Amino acid sequence: MSTWISRCDTETARKVTYRIKQRLRSHLGQLWADPTRTELSDRAFLQALGGCLDAFLNHVRDRTTPCFFVTPDKRDRMAALAWEHFPVSVERAMFVADQVCDHVFDLLGSGPTFLGAEIDWHQDFKSGWRWEPVHYTNVRYLDLEQPYDVKVPWELSRFHHAVTLGQAYWYTSNEKYTREFCTQIGDWLSSNPVAFGVNWACTMEVAIRAVNWIWGYHFFQDSPELSPRFHARFLKGLLAHGRHIFSNLEWGLTTNNHYLSNLVGLIYLGVTFPEFREADGWLAWGLQGLEREIDVQVHPDGVDYEASISYHRLVTELFLSAVSLCRLNEIPVSPHILFRLEKMVEFVMAYTQPDGTAPLIGDADDGRLHKLSPPDRSREFVDHRYLLGVGAVLFDRDDFAQAANDSWEDAFWLSGGEVIPPRDVVGNPVTSKGFPDGGIYVLRHGNLHLIVDAGGNGMAGIGGHAHNDALSLTLYAYDRAFLVDPGSYVYTADYRWRNHFRATAAHNVVVADGQEMQRFDERELFRLSEDARPRVLAWCSSPESDWFDGEHYGYTRLPMPVRLRRQVYFDKRQQIYIIRDLLTGQGQHTFDLYFHFAPLPVDVWSGASLPAVRTFCSDGPNLALVPLATDGLSVHILADWMSPSYGCKLSVPVVRFSLAGTVPMEFVTALFPMRAGVEQTPEELCQVAAGVWKTRPPAEEANR
């Protein structure tokens, strides 16, 4: 124990020391910085290279090592394979690349927007707000009274479109894509002097931009349009990015996806441009950091510790990309990293619904490292199966390959064209699984898929990307999402909406006396008080049924404390879920049980003798909610919002069951997914559910 404490103290001391040095460097840099003189001189660049500039540029154009995923010698073969195996993506890439050439971008819910003949890299084009190019330490990008969203210029300046331009160039050999790439890089460097402007204010953005510039550069590497002048300026810009990342690591007392992206940026720069004198140091720091952060940021069961499926996607992508680059260059990667990364992909496989989409749990800002397949707007933000394709190759897993289905394009690019979609892969069927460290429990069978979120706040209890969703659930059944998590909509652009989407009543949970299960300051957008502390009492799964039993303590701080216990029983033979919410404690209370639906027609079941609710879809499956305990129960259909992607929101129906009285009290609700054409009365369903409920595990199971 004393050794562990000593190690923690040493790590904390290193972080504190680094932050002090970092702040001192930033302060001195701010005093001496001149935005008109921040680009490296040729002399300073040569000092960083240790050689002749012309010789270096010739060397970079002609070298065969280090290896990269896309290189001129692979171009004809990979382009032909892409046309053969991914024709829809090829057409989409060319369409998006043409839009980029026309300066039309669709970012963070903006819809296709023309940004003008000259792109303003400092503007939130959704609100019209513009940041002045002051020193990055003086950039004020958070003001809750202003309607701007700093994520907009950041997302644009991540240069995800550099990959799409490069792919379109490979498919067509049209030099207009090269010219656009060069023009945008040059314009960005002119508009964003090193360390000046909003696009230098967050190191994560600098790192992701560097990675996408590197990808784009390798697509265009043999183009005659890449002049020596462009090469020199571009490489100076990359060197400046590496130095800025290393001098401004987002390495506080806690770390998250920001710091991980810093590490991946350093690894990319260190591997692909070893000629930079700092490259070895960047690479060493990045690799050591990966080893450390996969333990810090990823639970032993493979779940990212930020309590968000969207951020699990981003973190998995960061690790997979960095590991793939290292393996391509025969740089050793720790077996421990590989073991836990495989667990991360297993979690992706478990949470992926039968149609290939992922439920939204926790925050979702659509963040990516790179977009190696051009975005299909209908699925871009919810389809994570490309991670399964990459994982299938990296870990030689048939079950990953089967679950990936046709999502192999990222694996294709990350293997340098060595992987093409496999045919007739047969893996073990995906079954119910609990992830006790991350607190996620998946109750699935065939085309039914329910997730219970019993995870904590994440990030050592801070709650950064977590919501007030302890013991909430989502449900997908028979090719349709029925019960959903609300998503996030926006972050700092509107703190009121931010708080609405992370609030307790926005989730499929019980609300006691109209209170939040965890307290939060409305202006502390990435913090939650650690009140709920969910605990799993029992979890057991068999081929016939699943049983989840858990509780949380978020309402024990009320004047008359209440404890919530939720049990979920899944009968796989009858294909129904039964949910029991037991409220115990002291005194009288009002309880509201919420069920948030996808955008579907929902109403109270007319003519029923009990307050049942169902969807009324004219085609396909439907879902009925049938209460088994009805004394004093009332039901209302409300309207609320869900956000399928950042910056977008849709009106959705919400069912609210209500009870008032003295505890103990309980809700018992049967969830009946009904196939198309199947019709039963609420009374018949209630009778079936009552019989199923009797078969649940005995009370002693809760003590296991």
Residues 6+ apart with CB under 8 A from 57: 228, 231, 232, 235
Q: Do 271 and 265 meet the contact criterion of CB atoms below 8 Å apart?
A: no
6 and 148 share a domain?
Answer: no
578 and 685 share a domain?
Answer: yes
Specify the pLDDT at position 132.
95
Specify the pLDDT at position 697.
83
User: How high is the mean pLDDT of the chain?
Assistant: 92
| Residue 173 scores a pLDDT above 50 | yes
Domain assignment present for residue 175? The answer is: yes
Share of the chain above pLDDT 70, in %: 93
Q: Do 660 and 592 meet the contact criterion of CB atoms below 8 Å apart?
A: no
Burial of 170 (0-12, 13-18, 19+ CB in 10 A): buried
567 and 687 share a domain?
Answer: yes
Domain assignment present for residue 424? The answer is: no
Specify the pLDDT at position 331.
97
Token pair, residue 215, equals 């990808």
25 and 129 share a domain?
Answer: no
For residue range 478-490, what is the model confidence (pLDDT) as tens digits? 999 999 999 999 9
For residue range 340-370, what is the model confidence (pLDDT) as tens digits? 999 999 999 999 999 999 999 999 999 999 9
Q: How confident is the model at residue 5 (pLDDT cuts 50, 70, 90)?
A: very low
Spatial distance between the Cα atoms of 25 and 33, rounded to a whole number of angstroms: 11
Specify the pLDDT at position 592.
98
Place of tokens 């296991």: 704
Spatial distance between the Cα atoms of 302 and 345, rounded to a whole number of angstroms: 8
75 and 18 share a domain?
Answer: no
CA dihedral in degrees (287, 289, 295, 299; nearest 10)? -90
22 and 125 share a domain?
Answer: no
How many other β-carbons are positioned within 10 Å of the β-carbon of residue 74? 17
Specify the pLDDT at position 8.
45
| Residue 612 scores a pLDDT above 70 | yes
For residue range 490-528, what is the model confidence (pLDDT) as tens digits? 999 999 999 999 999 999 999 999 999 999 999 999 999
Domain assignment present for residue 526? The answer is: yes
Specify the pLDDT at position 669.
97
Domain assignment present for residue 683? The answer is: yes
Specify the pLDDT at position 610.
87
28 and 79 share a domain?
Answer: no
479 and 541 share a domain?
Answer: yes
Share of the chain above pLDDT 90, in %: 82
Q: What is the mean pLDDT of residues 416-439?
A: 88
Domain assignment present for residue 289? The answer is: no
Domain assignment present for residue 699? The answer is: yes
21 and 95 share a domain?
Answer: no
CA of 578: how far to CAs of 435, 566, 671, in Å?
Answer: 21, 10, 6
| Residue 700 scores a pLDDT above 80 | no
Specify the pLDDT at position 680.
87
25 and 89 share a domain?
Answer: no
Q: What is the mean pLDDT of residues 388-399?
A: 96
Q: How confident is the model at residue 10 (pLDDT cuts 50, 70, 90)?
A: low
Domain region containing 9: 1-32
Residue 646: CATH number of its domain: 2.70.98.70
Distance, CA of 583 to chain centre: 33
Spatial distance between the Cα atoms of 454 and 307, rounded to a whole number of angstroms: 10
Specify the pLDDT at position 42.
76
Of 210, 227, 248, the one marking the end of a domain is: 248
Q: How many domains does the chain have?
A: 3
For residue range 77-99, what is the model confidence (pLDDT) as tens digits? 999 999 999 999 999 999 999 99
Q: How confident is the model at residue 562 (pLDDT cuts 50, 70, 90)?
A: very high
Among candidate residues 490, 471, 256, the one with its CA nearest the CA of residue 363 = 490
| Residue 693 scores a pLDDT above 80 | yes
Residue 232: CATH number of its domain: 1.50.10.100
Of 212, 229, 248, the one marking the end of a domain is: 248
169 and 97 share a domain?
Answer: yes
| Residue 37 scores a pLDDT above 60 | no
Of 224, 248, 272, the one marking the end of a domain is: 248
Domain assignment present for residue 271? The answer is: no
Q: Which amino acid is at 651?
A: S
Spatial distance between the Cα atoms of 685 and 543, rounded to a whole number of angstroms: 23
Domain assignment present for residue 312? The answer is: no
Q: Do 337 and 294 meet the contact criterion of CB atoms below 8 Å apart?
A: yes
